[in-house]
Structure 1
């Protein structure tokens, strides 16, 4: 199953949950703290799935890699005057 298929399946389950909570509200009354808590939790789940769906859509969109131009001419040797070639020892007879 794809992520979108799984999210659609979760959405259907949440729709069923919402209908069931609605029936409980009719039977038990919507003023009960427990019923209000269940309604709020179901609504939070619905919002969370919407956020997941949006995040999954962003991840599924292929991004073009940023191109970096590398010049053909060699780097200026003066950039490296204060460093040693790592692992090759010091230049110009310097010893540490």
Structure 2
């Protein structure tokens, strides 16, 4: 294939991709119209993580990754 044939193939693929994306956007707009106040399904929302430090008591029986248990020396 020549360079021009390659460019034409890329152009056709890009046009097809653009059409598919537009179809998906239209379909998504029909399924959930803007301004609808439907609740977010469980497990689908954003989860906020507090800035406060974790309770150090949670980590008393854990191993340091790659180093082994806290009361033993690493190899």
Say whether the fold is shared (TM-score over 0.5). no
For normalisation by structure 1, the TM-score amounts to: 0.31
Bigger radius of gyration: 1
User: Which structure's residues are more often strand, by fraction?
Assistant: 2
User: Which structure's residues are more often helix, by fraction?
Assistant: 1
